[in-house]
Structure 1
Amino acid sequence: MAESKAATTSTVQMDDGINLRAKVFGEDLKSTKPLLVALHGAPGLSTLAEPEAAFTFLSDIFRVLVFDARGSGGSDLTGPYTHDRWIKDIEILRKWAGAEKFILAGGSYGGFIALDYAVLHGDKLLGLILRDTWANGVLGMMTALGNILTDDRLHVDVARQIRLWSGNLRDDKDFEEAIAEIIPIYAPPEEHLLKTSAKDNDESKAFEGMDERAAFNSATQNAAFSVNVPRFDVRQQLKNIKAPTLVIVGRHDYVTPVEFSQEIANGIPRSRLEIFEHSGHNPASDETEKYRQVILDFLRTEVI
């Protein structure tokens, strides 16, 4: 994990009174640097720690805004937990940060939100960065579950995994146990671990955004996967996304496999696909040096 630079931490109130925890790296809100907003994945579990680790290396060039989505981390655990509401929260944060246009980044579930935002508010985007995500919820969800149930590294409770991926968890403890038994699938196979990043790939860190602040909120996960994901399908809208787009994926990602990123890159006109040959679900930790170079090259050639 990259060492975080100094940040301004704020509590930002949304229009419905809900408070979100946000951090801004790269000077204060009055800075003239362009804004990059990075979304975390795993609703109800992941926190701003994930995008903080992945994007704060850019804070010399950008103001980097990361936040806990409502229902996750240090933000209020109050719904609705819908894509429309999460997108509206991004819009409020954009205005709070004083940016007319910005770069949006999202990984895994954060990529779903980023894609939906790009479809609805593409005129606000200077650029789009998508990491290990998919464009169709039902197909993606069923593929992930199928890979989990057939992975020799895992020994799972099948019924519990079905509850997890269909959004029917019994409680927060059920959520915690379901995640604990699938952590190894998020990392690349052992023979592909790079020595420079192996410290970030032990089982306690393989899951994105899991740190000492992680807390399990099954209500957020249940809403996301019982209501939002089955309705999520932007495949026919990809051609309408005009912002320059970088699509990143790990070759050994069995949750959001390479073919889904290829589909996204093929659909978005101004897109570039980068496959990380030694990565699982999170190239930012699996191949940190290459990941940073790819991000910088994209931003310098397509955005800045």
Structure 2
Amino acid sequence: MSQWTREMVETPRGNFEVFTKGKGEPICVTHHYSEFNETGDYFAETFTNDNKVFLVNLKGAGNSDDSRSVHELSMIDAVLDLEEIRKASGFSSWTFAGHSTGGMIGILYGIHFSSSLKSLILVGTAAREYSSSSSKCIYNVGHLKYKRMQELIELLKLPSLSGDERKRLSKERAQLSLLKPEYYDLYFSKNIFKKMSTDRMNFFSREQLIFDVTRQLSAVRTKTVILCGRHDVQCPVDFSIEMNELIPDATLHIFEQSNHYPFLEEEFEFKRVIKSVLT
């Protein structure tokens, strides 16, 4: 598997570390608190066969500029930054694809800048705060795995972790969000590694408590594809169904044998659906 190409993109809002791979129509991918590197990202890798993918480190992640004010770590600021990266890259429009918290950023992108988007791909995400409002969510205090998930998140924030320990904890955390956790080594078999931006994660943990843009979803005026695993424990499928009902030009595909990672758990079906959308 080839490495991603690193570049720094200068914009009026700051300088951003961006990794590119593939050829074809541009697709932008990011995540709220992931720190990407040349090994790439499992979700972003899904699109590289037929498209040129721009994998963006947001402010405070990787070698992108640090935030000068706390609000620059917000989801709406992420959207404003992505718009400047699009312009600096010379595109009149592109597709945005987001998984989980990346999808939440994507929803805001669609609400405020639909004219900049050829299409919007939202995977395993929600248009509102999901933890307290659904007992099916692993971030809900009533969920059986809530306590262990919280422990793992806090442990992964520790800068003192060895590489092996971080890998072990990351594996356990991901297994909590797989329908068949015993298949972890099969799903995550590529040489892809990333870290978590603690500052961005801490900001998100507060911001998501008041996140609710459901009443604005009618403002999304671009072709929107919503994909979700039937058994998603992070952003339960009910939230994807809700978005599909409220976004005007939306289609929904539910993966019956997937949890939070349908692009790995049902890889061939996921790629088939994506290809039918993008061609």
- TM-score if structure 1 supplies the norm length? 0.75
Aligned residues: 266
Is 1:254 the counterpart of 2:233? The answer is yes
Is 1:114 the counterpart of 2:106? The answer is yes
Deviation, structure 1 residue 224: 1.3
Q: Which residue of 2 aligns with 1:30?
A: none
| Structure 1: runs of 5+ lacking an equivalent | 28-32
In structure 2, relative to structure 1, the CA distance for the partners of 1:229 and 1:150 (3 Å cut) is closer
Q: Which residue of 1 aligns with 2:9?
A: 12
CA–CA separation in structure 2 for the residues paired with 1:289 and 1:148 = 34
Q: Which residue of 1 aligns with 2:58?
A: 69
Q: Deviations over 1:141-162 (max 9, x none)?
A: 654345576336x86286x57x
CA–CA separation in structure 2 for the residues paired with 1:175 and 1:256 = 30
Q: Which residue of 1 aligns with 2:186?
A: 199
Deviation, structure 1 residue 97: 1.7
Query: 3-state SS of the aligned residue for 1:123?
Result: helix
Q: Which residue of 2 aligns with 1:285?
A: 264
Is 1:219 the counterpart of 2:199? The answer is yes
Amino acid at match of 1:55: F
Deviation, structure 1 residue 46: 6.1
CA–CA separation in structure 1 for the residues paired with 2:132 and 2:186 = 29
Q: Deviations over 1:165-209 (max 9, x none)?
A: xxxx69931997886763322211358x5xxx861158xx9xxxx
Q: Which residue of 1 aligns with 2:158?
A: 173
Q: Which residue of 2 aligns with 1:85?
A: 77
Q: Deviations over 1:202-244 (max 9, x none)?
A: 8xx9xxxx943x2343211111121x21232111111221211
CA–CA separation in structure 1 for the residues paired with 2:272 and 2:149 = 40
CA–CA separation in structure 1 for the residues paired with 2:179 and 2:155 = 30
Is 1:127 the counterpart of 2:148? The answer is no
Q: Which residue of 1 aligns with 2:48?
A: 56
Query: 3-state SS of the aligned residue for 2:45?
Result: helix
CA–CA separation in structure 2 for the residues paired with 1:64 and 1:126 = 14
Deviates further, 121-130 or 173-182: 173-182
In structure 2, relative to structure 1, the CA distance for the partners of 1:229 and 1:157 (3 Å cut) is closer
Q: Percent identity?
A: 24
Output aligned runs, 1:263-302, within 5 Å.
263-300=242-279
Conserved? CA contact 1:118–1:125, under 8 Å: yes
Is 1:229 the counterpart of 2:208? The answer is yes
Query: 3-state SS of the aligned residue for 1:230?
Result: helix
CA–CA separation in structure 1 for the residues paired with 2:160 and 2:98 = 23
CA–CA separation in structure 2 for the residues paired with 1:73 and 1:67 = 10
> Pairwise CA RMSD of aligned residues?
3.2
| Structure 2: runs of 5+ lacking an equivalent | none
CA–CA separation in structure 1 for the residues paired with 2:142 and 2:149 = 9
